[in-house]
Structure 1
Amino acid sequence: MSPFLKVMQLFVMMTATVLGMLVLLLVTPDLEETMLRVVRHYTTPHYRVPTQNNVVIVAVERQVDPHIPGTSTGVEFDRNRKTFVPWPYSEECGRYHIHFARQKSLPMTALVSFPGSGNTWVRYLLETASGVFTGSVYVDRRIISKGFYGEAVPPDCGCTAVQKTHGFALEGLVPRGLAQRTAEVKLFQGRGILLLRNPYEALLSYRNFLYGGHTGFAPHSRFKGPEWERFASQLAVVWKELAVTWINYTKGHEAIILHFEKIRLNPRHDITRLLDYLGIAVDEQRIGCVLNHIDGPFRRPQSSQQMLFTARDPFSGKLHKILDAVINDLDQMLAKRGWERIPTQLYKFYKHNST
């Protein structure tokens, strides 16, 4: 074969290869999306399996809990898995990494909250303070892109410190049946951290997330009118009942409560309390780095919305009565349980209505 024909043959082969790759890119699904889709079967509805009598049963493999709240035992890291450096440009703090724990070495522990309550921020505080990734029953690619690698692993891997969940709150309704309501409590064997935030501000934050993502804002028009009234009044009840479920259907020291407003005031106290509950050793120098980088990657910037809501209360008199009532009811339940009561003095918009 002449040199010219050889060159032409090579050119045709290369052209065919390139065209083939382009066709594959056009018709083949995103591999990462395919992998994440597999993980999504760990979301809450997946755990709810109806029987022939339409009764929900939650089958959970019993795990041996190697940690006892109140002790600091440390965590065995899996050094062969991917790590993340939260503060790579800090001379003082750049040496700290976040790791996966050894597979099946940690018990499942829910970090449960109503949407908009600061769950992702608390995960950031816990990951950076402990050096252990946190997980989730969902998969959020935006979270993964910021270094929350535990987001992409099964929540029952035993390799993440806690697992984020909003329980039935994402459905926007309180399940009628007790089995459905308590399904996640049973799944986590009652072990969980209930993160509670002022429902007034949680509703505003959730509304912003629905229309603007993790760091954006909803249009001002979305905070007035009949649709906003329905949204806020219905979800106020969900806010209360989600917390009530974890208060009433856990016992002893299985679960603890954190108040978002108190974490903002004194993060060191609650970070230490979290680590103690999880049985993770406290590193004071590491916590110092956390406090120096307290906001994390998903803090919403300052906006005109805050000024607007200072001048114009987005909650009508009817909504104030509903929200104040659920706050007062939940506060009494916390008192009966012996848990830390609601810091209503820190609750913006709260008017302590008696009805």
Structure 2
Amino acid sequence: MARLSAMRSCFFLAPWTKRRSSRMAFFLAIFLASFLGLCILKVLHPAPGERVSFARAHLRQVLDSLQNEALLQDEGGEVEDEGNGAEGGRGQEQEDEKADNGDQKEMDEEDEGGQRQDEADKGEEEGGQEDERYQEEDEEDQGEVEGYQKDEGDQDEGRGDEDGNEGLGKTDENDFERDDLPLGKTGLPEEKSYRDIKLDFRRSSRRLWPNDDDEFCSRMEVRFAVGMTSSILHSFPRSGNTWMRYLIEAASGVFTGSCYNDKTLIRSGFKGERDSIYWKTTIVTKAHFAKHVGKYKYRPTVIIIRNPARVIISLWSYARIRNRKKRHTKTVSETTLDNEKFRAFVRYQLDKWLHTTLFALKKCRDAFPVFYEIVREDPVGETRRILEFLKVKPPEDRLACMARHVRGNVKGAQKSLDPYTEEEKELFLQALKEVNEALIRRGFPTLPDYSKYKN
């Protein structure tokens, strides 16, 4: 018993706790002290979700106290001078009301600006996880390009465009809404405010013309940029996109990117081909299809337009040349252009060309159309205009060197062919008319006279 009593004494820490009532009081005191401590901690250190509400409640108490003091002061003023006090109170209320209205107006403007910014960033917010899906989309788009090798039956299965739209080439008059089309916009910046380009000297570079007789030109390089928001270089396949990339790289000194990761072009020196648009390392990013144009429609977009009659012949050759190294620059025999497969190919690809071109002209907010035939006539001048649109100061020394090497190593074969029937020519004229109307609606220059160009 003595041992048990000693243990009880040690356990309850004091002799007076031996009685039952004392033990209950002791436990109750501990409970109340703990509860009080938790309440103090909750007030001093609220949870993250409760921190805002606690601050708001405290702020409301302060505002209420200040308002009560102001009312008391107003009442005192009314006792001393009832007339002046009343007028002063009304004047103060009017000023407060104006201030509140001004604050509300500023908040509304900020909300509208935020909504516009959210809308403008909507196409780019999807890029947070783009790098993980990037390769899958590239393979899908590359399969679309290589799918031109399929026969007529395969082509008929794919008559819907990449976004699932039906009726390619048919554009409703209501599609050209005033909100979507800044009418009269020329695409060139109103003020010549150029971007500051920062180059990455840690990554590999490309020397463009190491064998040039001019020592300055022989040392011209192309490098990756740092923190440079990439614009879009859009065109239907086989419209001179790769050649235009070469001219832009030569003139700007910055690599161009692509949505397709073409290994053949990487081996040809286009090192930016594998870089994602979200890495901000390239000046422009190549895109062919409507889904990419729609995805990046809020970025500045250069739209390359070429005569569809020449585009389809080049695309037919590209689809039937098995050698991946030669398909960018070679063409097939004329004998392959006189069969039913080619006839079906013409109709299908003309519909896709018309739909893709109209889609880009309609959806891209900041568009700059470039005509392939005009670029061939004046590659230096057109490249200078593109750099101006991209807000990159044209370096005249690089342009002078580029003028000595305008062809590049990937410019396609230029062959004068006319394999089309009279009915097909009428379809081409109708498609060109629709594109011309879209250009006029945007205030852009119209298509060149294609009858002057043999290829």
- Give the TM-score normalised by structure 1: 0.71
Q: Match of 2:218?
A: 94
* Partner deviation per Cα, 1:83-112 (whole Å, 9 max, x = no partner): 00010111321111100001xx22232111
Aligned to 1:41: 136
CA deviations on 1:203-260 (whole Å, 9 max, x unpaired) are 1111121123112222323312111111111111211111111111233xx1211000
Q: Deviations over 1:172-192 (max 9, x none)?
A: xxxxxxxxx5x6323342421
* CA distance, structure 2, for counterparts of residue 155 and residue 265 of structure 1: 31
Compared with structure 1, are the counterparts of its residues 128 and 275 closer, same or farther at alpha carbon in structure 2 (3 Å cutoff)? same
Q: After superposition, what is the alpha-carbon deviation per residue over 1:254-281, rounded to whole angstroms, capped at 9, x for unaligned?
A: 1211000111111222111111111212
Residue type of the partner of 1:116? R
Q: CA deviation at 1:348?
A: 4.4
Contact 2:331 2:413 in 1 (8 A): no
1:327 to 432, 437, 450: 432
> Which residue matches 1:184?
293
Distance across 2 between alignment mates of 1:325 and 1:300: 27
The residue number in structure 2 matching 1:228 is 342
The structure with higher relative contact order (CA 8 Å, sep 6+) is 1
1:217 aligns with 2:331: yes
Q: Is the 8 A contact 1:198 1:347 kept in 2?
A: no
For 1:51-200, what aligned pairs fall within 5 Å after superposition?
69=189, 70-92=192-214, 93-102=217-226, 105-168=227-290, 184-200=293-309
User: Which one-letter code corresponds to 1:140 in the other structure?
Assistant: D
More helix by percentage: 2
| Corresponding residue for residue 104 of structure 2 | none
* Unaligned ranges ≥5, structure 1: 1-35, 47-54, 57-67, 169-180, 351-355
Aligned residues: 272
In 2, are the aligned partners of 1:144 and 1:151 still within 8 Å (CA)? yes
Give 1:271's aligned residue.
Answer: 383
Report SS of the residue matched to 1:343: coil
SS at match of 2:233: strand
Q: Could you tell me how far 1:154 is from its partner in structure 2?
A: 1.5
Tell me which structure has the larger Cα radius of gyration. 2
- Please say if residues 239 and 305 of structure 2, whose CA atoms lie closer than 8 Å, have aligned partners that are also in contact: yes
Q: How does 1:242-261 map to 2 (within 5 A)?
A: 242-251=356-365, 254-261=366-373
2:394 aligned counterpart, secondary structure: coil
**Larger mean Cα displacement after TM superposition, 131-140 or 274-283:** 274-283
Identity of aligned residues (%): 25
**Secondary structure in structure 2 of the residue aligned to 1:163:** strand
Q: For residue 302 of structure 2, what is the amino acid of its counterpart? A: I
State the secondary structure of the residue aligned to 1:256: strand
CA distance in 2, matches of 1:228, 1:347: 25
Take 2:447 and 2:421, find their aligned partners in 1: how far apart are those partners? 22
Give the alignment's Cα RMSD to 1 decimal.
2.6
Alpha-carbon separation, structure 2, partners of 1:300 and 1:274: 21
After TM superposition, give the deviation of residue 123 of structure 1 in Å.
Answer: 0.2
Report the CA distance between 1:42 and its aligned residue.
Answer: 4.8
Q: 1:193 to 1:301 in 2, by over 3 A?
A: closer
**Are the counterparts in 1 of residues 233 and 285 from structure 2 also a CA contact under 8 Å?**
yes
In structure 2, stretches of 5+ residues that fail to align are 1-130, 142-162, 165-187, 322-326
Q: Does 1:237 align with 2:359?
A: no
Runs of 4+ in 1 over 6 A off after TM superposition: none
Q: Is the 8 A contact 1:86 1:98 kept in 2?
A: yes
Kindly indicate whether the alpha-carbon contact (under 8 Å) linking 2:354 and 2:435 is maintained by their aligned counterparts in 1: yes
Counterpart of 1:314 in structure 2 is 419
- The answer for the alignment partner of 1:13 in structure 2 is none
CA contact 1:71–1:277 (8 Å) conserved in 2? no
CA distance in 1, matches of 2:452, 2:428: 11
> Contact 1:72/1:282 (CA < 8 Å) preserved in 2?
no
| Whole-angstrom CA distance in 2 between matches of 1:165 and 1:134 | 11
C-alpha contact (below 8 Å) 1:132/1:161 kept by paired residues: yes
The answer as to whether partners of 1:107 and 1:158 remain within 8 angstroms in 2 is yes
What residue number does 1:204 align with? 313
Q: Distance in 2 between matches of 1:162 and 1:44?
A: 20
In structure 1, what is the Cα distance between the partners aligned to 2:132 and 2:210? 31
